[in-house]
Amino acid sequence: MPEQAPQSPSIVVEDDRTGTSVTTLKQAILDNLYYIAAKMPENATDIDYFTAVACTVRDRMLAQWMTTLESYSREDLRVVCYLSAEFLMGPYLANNILNLGLTDSFRQAAKELGLDLDRIIEQESEPGLGNGGLGRLAACYLDSLATLGVRAIGYGIRYEFGMFHQQIRDGWQVEMTDYWLRYGNPWEIRRPQAAVDVGFAGHTEPYKDAQGNDRVRWVPRSVVRGIPYDTPIVGYHSGVVNDLRLWKSEATESFYFERFNSGDYQGAVAEKVFAENITKVLYPNDEEIEGKELRLQQQYFFTSCSLQDMVRFQHRFGCAMETFQSEWAIQLNDTHPSIGVAELMRLLLDDHGMGWDQAWSITTSTFSFTNHTLLPEALERWPLPLFASLLPRHLEIIYEINARFLQEVRERFPGDEARVARMSIIDENDQKYVRMAYLACVGSHKVNGVAELHTQLIKQELFHDFYEMWPEKFVNITNGVTPRRWLAVSNPEQSALMTSKIGDGWIGDLDELRRLEVLADDSAFRAQWRKVQYDGKVRLSNYILKDTGVTVDPASMFDAQVKRIHEYKRQHLNVLHILTLYHRLKNNPNLDIAPRTFLFGGKAAPGYVMAKLIIKFINAVGEVINNDPDVKHRLKVVFLPDYSVSFGQRVYPAADLSEQISTAGKEASGTGNMKFAMNGALTIGTLDGANIEIREAVGAEKFFLFGLTADQVQATLAAGYHPWDIYHSNDGLREVIDSVASGQFSHGDQELFRPLLDSLLQHDTYLLFADYQSYIDCQDQVAQAYLDQEKWSRASILNASRMGKFSSDRSITEYCEGIWNVAVKAGSAPKPLP
C-alpha cells in the first residue's frame, strides 16, 4: 500500500514493506501490528509491539537476504559453512536494527508512536541454543562473516528447549525448562520444501552396480525428516544477509503411515516420538556426555541434513560433485559435527559412486576443525557398540579411513606400534571407542586452537603425534567477539562517547579505537569516561535490586566473574579472597578497605554436583557478609541468576574488574575476558588462554597478573602436590578454610561444604591453594590501584582502546585467509595495527 499519493515530482514514495523513512517505519509498525499480530494499538501488549517491530525490521532485510542467497549460484564464490551444534545468538532486534543502520530512525519512529524502543527490545526471549563460550563464539562469527561480506551459512539444530533457566532457591540452583518459542519467533522462516531425510540404524549390504563395481548400500531402520528453519543474519553496513539454517526433526509421513496402516499403532507412535525427540532439547552438559545416544543422534542428524543441503545446492549450481571442495569450506566447531567426515565420504562413495581416493581428497580439502578444550572429560568418544548400532555404514567407513591412516603412520614411523595405537581413531584400550577428535583431525586439512597458548598445548599434548606427522596442519586463530553486540548495542553510552571523539568507524574496524589512546591523558575525557562507567553501574545496581533484592553501592568497585560454573574456572578461589577480606574486617572492624561489590553469574551443569555446591557456597557467603553489621556495607556479594547473552550485555559495561582466574592451561581462550576489557574493565588473571594476549595488547602494567604458569602447574602436579601443606603453612588460608568448616556460613552445619573442602584439602586438582597467596597479594594491589581513580580511568581507557585484536572481524579474516581460502569484501577487512 503506497504511503501517500505523490504531491510533487520531488517526493519519493517509499514502499511500506521496505522504506526506511521515519514516516514509513511508523506506518509499517502499525500495519504489522494489525496484519501480523492482529491487534489494534489500544489493546496491543508489549509482546505484540515487539512482533510488529521485529517484522518491520525483517521486511527490511529481505531484499538483501534474497540477493545474497541468489549470489550463491551466480557468483563463483566458495561458501563457508560453519557447522555447530550450538549457536548462542542472543536477542536479535537491537543488533539487526544497528547492523541495518536504522537505529536512529527506529528510535524516532517508536517515539512518535508513543513507544519506548528499549522496552520493546527487552520483550524478546532470547534463543539460548548454546551452553557458553563455544556457542556464543559461533554467533559472533556469523555477525563478522556477514559484516565482512563473506558468503556463509551457519548450520545447526533448532532445539525446541534451549539452555535451562536458572533460579536460585535457598542459595541452590534450580533448573527450569526454556520454552523460548512460546510467543513464536518472528525471525525464522520454515522451509518444508527444502526438507531432507536422514537414516538411522539398520544394516549394510554389498552389491554390484551396473558396471560391475563392488558397492555398499545402507538400509536404515528409521528415517527422520529434517526441516530447515532459516534466520537472516545481517552484516553491519555490508549489504550482505547470510543464513542461519537450523534443522528440526520430524517424522516422515510415509514411514508413519505405513506402520499405522499395518495396524502397528504403537510402533507408529514410537517412530514419531523417536523422530521428534532428536531436536527437542539442548544438552546442558559440561560434564561427561559419553554414551548419550540421543546426543549422537543429534550430531549425525544436523550434520547429515547440512551436508545433503550442500549437495543439493551443488546440483542446483549445475556443478559436478568432483568440484565440491571448490564450492564449500566446512568448519567443524569442535567435534560435535565431526561425524560429517564419514558422512561426506558416504555421500560421495555410496550415493555418487566416487572412488575412495578422490572422495578422500575432496573430504579433507573441504573440512577444517576447531578444538575448544584440552579437558579430557570434554573430549568426545563414542562406545563402539552404540556407534555400530546407530551408524553401521559410517563405522565401516571410519574403519577404512583408520586403516589407511594407520598405514601412513607405519610408513612414516616404522616399527613404532605404540604410536600407531595412540593415534588410532578407534581406541582399543579396554572398551572400544571411536575418538571423534582424531576423526576430525585426520579428516581436515587444518586444525586450529583458539588462543596462542592453547594451540601450543594442542601441539605439545592433545595432538602431539598428529603434529609430528603434519606440522603444517596446525594453526592458531585467537578468538574474537563482535564489537557490534558487545559494545555498540550493549554499551550505548560508552559507544556514544567514543564516537563523539573518533567517529563511528570503530564499529566496523575495532583497531580504530587506538585513536582514543591520546585521550587517556586528557583529564576532562577521563571524567566523561568515569561518568559513563558510573552510569552503567547505577543501571546494573537498579537491576540487581529488582532481581535479587540486594542493594549495592555503585560507588564501590564492581568486581565481576560471570561464566559457566566449573572448578577449573575457580569461582571458589574468588570466594576465598572474599572470605579473606571478611576476616580482616572481623579482626579489625575499622580497617580502611576499598568498598567492593562482588558479582557472580553462571550456570552449573545439572549433573555437576561440585559446581552446584559452589553456587550454594557463593550464596551462603553472600548471605552472611551482606547482613553482617560489622561489614558496614563495604563488601557485598551478589549471585545474579540466569546468566545469558542479555544478562552479559548488562554486566560487561558495569564492571570495574574482570576476574579471569582459571588454572593456567585449562581455559582454551575465554571470550568474556575480551568483552569486559572492551567495556573498560581491568583484568585480574592468570597466564591462561587469551588472557596472555590481552595482557600483551594492553600492557603488562595494566593487567593484574598472578599465579602459576601452565608449565609451573604441570611441574607442581608432577612433583607431588600437597595442598594440605599449604593449608598448614598459610595462616590466612587456614583461618578462611576453618571458618567454612566450622559452619559459620551454613547456619552451623559442618557437613554442607565438606565435599568442597575435602576436595581442596586432599586433591585441589585446580591448584587453588597453590595460587592463593599470589591471588590475595594481587587483589591487594587492585584495591590499592582503585584508590587512584585518575590512574585507574587512564588504564581503563587504554584497555578499551587496545582491544582491536579481539574483534571477531580479525579472527574471521584469519580463517578466510589461512583456512578457508575465501576473500573478505574489499575495504571491509580490518587494517593492520598502526
Q: So which residues are the catalytic ones? A: 372, 563-564, 569, 671, 675
CB of 668 to ligand F58, least distance (A): 4
Minimum CB–partner distance for residue 295 and ligand F58 (Å):
9
Its sign, for the CA torsion 220, 222, 227, 228, is negative
**182 to 125, 185, 283, 752: CA distances (angstroms):** 9, 8, 20, 38
x/- track of binding to ligand F58 for residues 282-301 (CB under 6 A): ---xx---------------
**CB of 689: closest distance to ligand F58 in angstroms?**
5
Question: Measuring CA to CA, which residue among 133, 825, 118, 94 is closest to residue 487?
Answer: 94
Element (H, E) at 695: helix 691-698
The smaller minimum CB distance to ligand F58, of residues 26 and 566, is found at 566
The residue from 597, 669, 746, 813 that contacts ligand F58 (CB under 6 A) is: 669
Q: What is the DSSP letter of 824?
A: P
Q: How many residues bind ligand F58 (CB under 6 A)?
A: 18
The residue number with the shortest CB distance to ligand F58 is 133
Give the whole-angstrom CA distance, residue 442 versus residue 248: 30
In order of 51, 765, 769, the CA distances from 186 in angstroms are: 6, 47, 50
251: Cβ contacts below 8 Å, ≥ 6 apart: 224, 225, 271, 272, 275, 276
Is 799 an interacting residue with respect to ligand F58 (CB under 6 A)?
no
433 and 427 in contact (C-beta within 8 Å)? yes
C-alpha cell at 428: 582399543
Of 218, 213, 208, 198, which Cα lies nearest the Cα of 346? 218
> According to the binding rule CB under 6 A, does residue 137 interact with ligand F58?
yes
Binding of residue 162 to ligand F58 (CB under 6 A): no
| 653 three-state secondary structure | helix
Is residue 378 involved in binding ligand F58 (CB under 6 A)?
yes
Minimal distance, residue 564 CB to ligand F58, in Å: 7
Q: Specify the amino acid at residue 239.
A: G
- The distance of closest approach from Cβ of residue 671 to ligand F58 in the complex, given in angstroms and rounded to an integer, is 5
Q: Does 144 bind ligand F58 (CB under 6 A)?
A: no
Q: Which stretch binds ligand F58 (CB under 6 A): 38-46, 127-135, 259-267, 409-417?
A: 127-135
In terms of CB distance, is 60 or 372 closer to ligand F58?
A: 372
- For the chain, the maximum distance between any two Cα atoms, rounded to a whole number of angstroms, is 92
Burial 121-154 (b: 16+ CB within 10 A, else e): bebbbbbbbbbbbbbbbbbbbbbbbbbbbbbbbb
Does residue number 659 form part of the binding site for ligand F58 (CB under 6 A)? Answer: no
Per CB under 6 A, the list member of 131, 364, 448, 490 interacting with ligand F58 is 131
**Is there binding between residue 671 and ligand F58 (CB under 6 A)?**
yes
Question: Near ligand F58 by CB under 6 A, which window of 360-368, 393-401, 618-626, 662-670?
Answer: 662-670
663 binds ligand F58 (CB under 6 A): no
Backbone angles phi, psi at 608, to 5 degrees: -95, 90
Q: What is the grid cell recorded at 766?
A: 585446580
What is the nearest approach in angstroms of ligand F58 to the Cβ of residue 88? 9
Residue choice 670, 685, 723, 830 for contact with ligand F58 (CB under 6 A): 670
Judged by CB under 6 A, the residue of 32, 479, 491, 746 near ligand F58 is 479
Comparison of 162 and 220: residue with beta carbon closer to ligand F58 = 162
With a CB cutoff of 8 Å and minimum separation 6, the contacts of 809 are 144, 147, 148, 480, 482, 483, 508, 509, 510, 828, 829, 830
Question: Among all chains, which residue has been given the C-alpha cell 567517529?
Answer: 503
> Which residues, numbered 687-716, are part of the site for ligand F58 (CB under 6 A)?
689
Report the nearest approach of ligand F58 to the CB of residue 50 (Å).
Answer: 29
Distances (CA, A) of 198 to 218, 256, 436, 589: 12, 15, 20, 67
In the complex, the smallest distance separating the C-beta of residue 282 from ligand F58, rounded to whole angstroms, is: 9
Determine the Cα–Cα distance for residues 659 and 672; give it in Å rounded to an integer: 9
Site string for ligand F58, 745-784 (x = CB under 6 A): ----------------------------------------
d(Cα 558, Cα 689) in Å, to the nearest integer? Answer: 23
Which range of residues in 349-357, 370-378, 517-525, 808-816 is near ligand F58 by CB under 6 A?
370-378
Which of 307, 441, 668, 800: binder of ligand F58 (CB under 6 A)? 668
Interface stretch with ligand F58, choices 110-118, 130-138, 181-189, 630-638 (CB under 6 A) = 130-138
- Single residue of 134, 251, 439, 740 touching ligand F58 by CB under 6 A: 134
Stretch that binds ligand F58, among 128-136, 483-491, 714-722, 802-810 (CB under 6 A): 128-136
3-state secondary structure 379-401: CCEEEHHHHHHHCHHHHHHHHHH
User: Binding marks (x or -) toward ligand F58, 438..477, rule CB under 6 A?
Assistant: ------------x---------------------------
Query: What separation in angstroms does the CA of 443 have from each of 179, 215, 437, 474, 689?
Result: 37, 22, 10, 13, 26
Q: Which residues bind ligand F58 (CB under 6 A)?
A: 131-134, 137, 285-286, 372-373, 378, 450, 479, 667-671, 689
